[in-house]
Structure 1
Amino acid sequence: MTATALPASLADIRDEFLELPEDERLQLLLEFANELPAIPAEYEGHPELQERVVECQSPVYIVVDVDDDDVVAMHATAPREAPTTRGFASILAQGLTGLTADQVLAVPSDFPQSIGLTRAVSPLRISGMTGMLMRAKRQVAAKRRGA
């Protein structure tokens, strides 16, 4: 993965993980789990407006908004009982929100493998984060201005 292809918000998150010893990265992921932004009120209680991420064993739902200026906001819900999955959702929600549609679409698909957690969590969980990223990118492509 080339560093130039990764927007600063995601590069900063990746670097934050990679600067830590491997055995401390899971703790940082749990901190992200506690920082998952709440979804906007218009989506609260309306799972039909959100997309289920079937790659995740836990019930994870995402929805991406693209405003008139082509700026993305990613929203996600994940149960507190699934802190790893919730942490991944938080990383993407925080890292993708504020980017332009083009920046989101250019995020390398292997970003989840680049943050140094492949030995700390199961491949199934990394696959779940990849599923979240792919669905977010697909939603952005479908909702972007002029699409």
Structure 2
Amino acid sequence: MTSTELPAKLAEIRDDFLALEQPDRLLLLLEFAGELPALPARYEEHPDLLERVVECQSPVFMFVEVDDDAGKSVHLYATAPRESPTTRGFASILAQGLDGLSTEQVLAVPDDYPLSIGLTKAVSPLRIRGMTAMLARTKRRLRETAV
């Protein structure tokens, strides 16, 4: 998948980041942190259903859900502490960018997507690795549920 073949929402997010100077990219990331979708009640009431992303410095938990509809729409739910805005921002980017895509579309997202949004100079490699791990975990869950 070339960058022009990215799903529209992920391409738009990437382009929004790349259109900004480094300091403004961090501000956009903070905006995403504030927009992390809330967990549905079924997960708030059963946090044991969420999987910890151990590669993240902050405690991040996530769950990948696939609708039974014909398109097999994917939904990523994540939680991260408000005191960890970088991690929350990355989780929010993925939750919003992957929402509603088909399983095939999510699996085709380049593994290095987190490197493509222009934050490698603004945040530590460890933080980028956390977002990469969230994407990898999402794909792994989709492969497991497809079997």
TM-score range, shorter chain: over 0.9
Residue 46, structure 1, aligned to residue 46, structure 2: yes
Equivalent position of 1:33 in the other structure: 33
Residue aligned with 1:121, SS = coil
CA contact (8 A) 1:5 1:108 kept: no
Equivalent position of 2:81 in the other structure: 79
Equivalent position of 1:94 in the other structure: 96
TM-score, normalising length: structure 1: 0.95
* Distance in 1 separating the partners of 2:41 and 2:143: 24
Residue aligned with 1:75, SS = strand
Identity, % of aligned positions: 68
Residue aligned with 2:65, SS = strand
CA contact (8 A) 1:63 1:76 kept: yes
Equivalent position of 2:11 in the other structure: 11
Residue 108, structure 1, aligned to residue 110, structure 2: yes
Please list every run of 5 or more consecutive structure 2 residues that lacks an aligned counterpart in the other structure: none
Question: C-alpha root-mean-square deviation of aligned residues, in Å?
Answer: 1.1
Equivalent position of 1:120 in the other structure: 122
Aligned-partner residue type, residue 142 of structure 2: V
* Distance in 2 separating the partners of 1:73 and 1:15: 22
Alignment of 1:133-144 (within 5 A): 133-144=135-146
Aligned-partner residue type, residue 13 of structure 2: I
Task: Kindly report structure 1 stretches of 4+ aligned residues shifted beyond 3 Å.
Answer: none
Residue aligned with 1:42, SS = helix
* Distance in 2 separating the partners of 1:119 and 1:54: 23
Per-residue deviation, residues 37-60 of structure 1 (Å, max 9, x unmatched): 001110004232011000101110
* Distance in 2 separating the partners of 1:18 and 1:122: 18
* Distance in 2 separating the partners of 1:74 and 1:90: 9
Residue 60, structure 1, aligned to residue 63, structure 2: no
* Distance in 2 separating the partners of 1:4 and 1:121: 25
Please list every run of 5 or more consecutive structure 1 residues that lacks an aligned counterpart in the other structure: none
